[in-house]
Structure 1
Amino acid sequence: MTQINLTLNVEDLKDHLMNSNLDAVVKSSLVLILNQMMETERDEHLNADAYERTSARTDYRNGYYDRDFLVSIGKINLKVPRTRNGEFSTSVFEKYQRADQALVLSMIEMVVNGVSTRKVTKIMEQLCGESVSKSLVSTITKKLDPIVNEWASRPLNVMYYKYVFVDALYIKVREHQRVVSKAVYVAVGVNSQLKREVIGLAVNHSESKEGWTQFFSYLKSRGFQSPKLMISDAHKGLKAAIQESFVGTSWQRCTFHFKKNLFDRMPKKQAEELKHALLRIFDATKPEDARALKEEFMQTYDGERGYETVLSLLDDGFEDAIQFMNEPLGFQKKLRTTNNLERLNSEIRRRERVIRIFPNTQSAFRLIGAVLMDYEKSLDPGERKYMYDEKEN
């Protein structure tokens, strides 16, 4: 893995973490992490793992007792380990207070931001003078799995998602001693309140019809109903999977990518004039107006040398690229492209660039899921909607 040089201002980091608006997800993570740290301490005190037979054992486990612990994000309930002779005492509470709570909160923050295990151990030592083993960081990270899995498998039948944006991007994963590319499938839905949710995440071998069909089956198994419109790029496998998986659903081809394909194949002669004419077609707000402008364009350049490819592409993809015009005028700008997924993808990429190669598929799912959970909180906060009908303005 490439060595990453981090410049860390400890006091600024502590201040940032302590004043973060941490929600219930992070609160649950904190409980899991502190419990795991105490469990590890007891193992070290006993000099034996659970159910391990060894002459080096110094004592035996004796269950747990509950303890409420007040932290900056509220009161949490912890399971404190006990031993038979009562000599074991955890240092977690003392260390937690001494580190101004930065130890655990920093771990959570760094996991979500894609910092490597090796870097986490070094930063922890800078933060509070306490060394943390790589194995403990890995164990703590795995404790986030139930939280991410619960979010990724939550029911989708409590809300109808009329519009859904889907996309896939590639990451590198280590598998059987080899580095391979894997596809990350993501779906963002606009619910009946016109607010966005990240409704689907999966990591699969490649972007294909089979992969997309599996992804849609996973959504339907959670109660997802056929949307009115799905917006995506023109991947053939994705388009075929949408047609087979959702009867009655229209497909909107991303106009940004479609227009770019057309522009790239235009002859240089009269290119600006051609672009302007094409933009007029997709700036229309009614299907019948767009069709009239398209026919005018086709007739104007039909038979001219060098324009055959552009005209053929436009004719083939036109109807799929104007489906957004059947929706309310106030919605159309948001429905004609997949641009709203670009920031989401950049958030994933920002973390992925730090890691470069995920150690396994589960670690990729865990990290990307945590990133998406965090990103979802920024989508359309409060009473803000993603789309507004003209009648509401």
Structure 2
Amino acid sequence: MTQLQFNLDMDFLKDSVLHSNLDTVVKSALVLVLNEFMEKERDKYLQAAAYERSSERLDYRNGYYERELIMSLGKLTLKVPRTRNGEFSTALFEKYARHDQALVLSMIEMVVNGVSTRKVTQIVEQLCGESVSKSLVSSLTQKLDPIINTWASRSLSSTYYPYVFLDAMYIKVREHHQVVSKAVYIATAITEENTREILGLSVDHVESYDSWCRFLQQLKSRGIQSPKLVISDAHQGLQKAIQREFLGTGWQRCNVHFKRNIIEKLPKKGSEDFRIMLKRIFEAVTLEDTRKFKAELMDKYAENQKYEKALNVLDDGFEDTVQYMNFPEGIRVHIRSTNSLERLNQEVRRRERVIRIFPNTQSAFRLIGAVLMHYQENDYSNRKSLTK
């Protein structure tokens, strides 16, 4: 092990402690120690001390260059020794790389958790006494790219997902010097063990049949098998894509969205009894009771023109909205709506509102992917079976 031997001017050090900022003294002392450490490393590499004649000498000294090392107490400017052949390399920066890495990871985590780049720079300055540029923070987040890409393209063939949830949300992205709207497609699922998992995401143009087909084909290419049921809203392009890409799969229209669509068609006043009967339909325990309560509601208000539009919506979408009743009772509450996916979208929105406009599509994919990975690891992975 390299031994350090150097002398400190104790009188000077005492005076510095008494009359100077203690942080400055500590930083100066640390610079001295680290510089001496690297000097001894070079001596060991050369197998000769300064001005020493030795037949075992491997190379010659060639001055120094400056390099900065950011640590928790601030930025240190060190004198790194060089040799003529350039093959000498100090182990110091590898030794302290974990400090740099911890700082980088902390900055990335702040960004992912909804802290703006401007606030990140302020926090780093308070912690380390040094400012960092917004562009540096942005460039550091690019370190996430290989991690996000690996996660988003991982194989899904080893697990069967009987229930898959699909939804799209819109974000703003700069493209060709313009701000455009882009759709973010997100898929989640419930496994045979009744645990939740986030399957993946994609950023594409406006929500359409073709774009949904591409997203489902991407999931299939990663090994996903046709599920028993897909739960989503009533977007026609999505419905057609599900029928094409997942043959034999049932479709469950989101229960919450469906009831909202019906209520929007109701008169603003005097519809309390209708709402109560509507609620009873979707609280029924059996499919037979569900259909019975629906028929009673239709009969009661059939002659009232004020409820004609609401009844038409109910009648047209009813069967698609009660598909969850064909599955075990314990899982029904979890598959009748896209509420779980809506909550996930809210986590994405919380960060997206800070950014407002993504600089490009890749930055949107990176950030949203990081949020989804974080949610998977910290929320879904720690939950027990949904039916236990």
Number of the residue aligned with 2:261: 261
Which protein has the larger Cα radius of gyration, Structure 1 or Structure 2?
2
Number of the residue aligned with 2:223: 223
Q: Give the drift of 1:85.
A: 2.1
Number of the residue aligned with 2:331: 331
Please list every run of 5 or more consecutive structure 2 residues that lacks an aligned counterpart in the other structure.
1-61, 64-82
Q: Give the drift of 1:274.
A: 0.3
- Cα distance in 1 for partners of 2:284, 2:366 equals 43
Q: Secondary structure at the match of 2:181?
A: strand
Number of the residue aligned with 1:378: 378
What letter is aligned with 1:253? R
Residue by residue over 1:154-210, the C-alpha shift from the partner in whole angstroms, topping out at 9 and shown as x without a partner, is 001100000011111111111111111111110111112111110020011111111
Alignment of 1:192-203 (within 5 A): 192-203=192-203
What letter is aligned with 2:157? N
What letter is aligned with 2:278? L
Q: Is the 8 A contact 2:230 2:249 kept in 1?
A: yes
Alignment of 1:273-352 (within 5 A): 273-352=273-352
- Cα distance in 1 for partners of 2:133, 2:277 equals 63
Q: Secondary structure at the match of 2:86?
A: coil
- Distance 1:258-1:108 versus aligned 2 partners, 3 A rule: same
Q: Give the drift of 1:98.
A: 7.2
- Cα distance in 2 for partners of 1:128, 1:357 equals 29
- Distance 1:116-1:84 versus aligned 2 partners, 3 A rule: farther
- Cα distance in 2 for partners of 1:214, 1:121 equals 39
Please list every run of 5 or more consecutive structure 1 residues that lacks an aligned counterpart in the other structure.
1-57, 60-81, 389-393
Q: Provide the identity percentage.
A: 57
Q: Give the drift of 1:302.
A: 1.1
- Cα distance in 1 for partners of 2:353, 2:278 equals 37
Alignment of 1:141-152 (within 5 A): 141-152=141-152
- Distance 1:126-1:225 versus aligned 2 partners, 3 A rule: same
Q: Give the drift of 1:292.
A: 1.6
What letter is aligned with 2:107? M
What letter is aligned with 2:378? S
Number of the residue aligned with 1:168: 168
How many residues of Structure 1 are paired with residues of Structure 2 in the alignment? 308
The normalised TM-score by structure 1 is 0.72
What letter is aligned with 2:207? E
Q: Is the 8 A contact 1:286 1:326 kept in 2?
A: no
Number of the residue aligned with 2:86: 85
Q: Is the 8 A contact 2:265 2:310 kept in 1?
A: yes
Number of the residue aligned with 1:247: 247
What letter is aligned with 2:160? Y
Q: Give the drift of 1:129.
A: 2.2
Number of the residue aligned with 1:204: 204
- Cα distance in 2 for partners of 1:139, 1:97 equals 19
Number of the residue aligned with 1:238: 238
Q: Is the 8 A contact 1:103 1:127 kept in 2?
A: no
- Distance 1:83-1:142 versus aligned 2 partners, 3 A rule: farther
What letter is aligned with 1:377? E
- Cα distance in 2 for partners of 1:303, 1:312 equals 13
- Distance 1:161-1:116 versus aligned 2 partners, 3 A rule: same
Residue by residue over 1:9-36, the C-alpha shift from the partner in whole angstroms, topping out at 9 and shown as x without a partner, is xxxxxxxxxxxxxxxxxxxxxxxxxxxx
Aligned-CA RMSD value: 2.5
Q: Secondary structure at the match of 1:165?
A: strand
Number of the residue aligned with 2:186: 186
The normalised TM-score by structure 2 is 0.73
What letter is aligned with 2:376? E
Q: Secondary structure at the match of 1:170?
A: strand
- Distance 1:196-1:83 versus aligned 2 partners, 3 A rule: farther
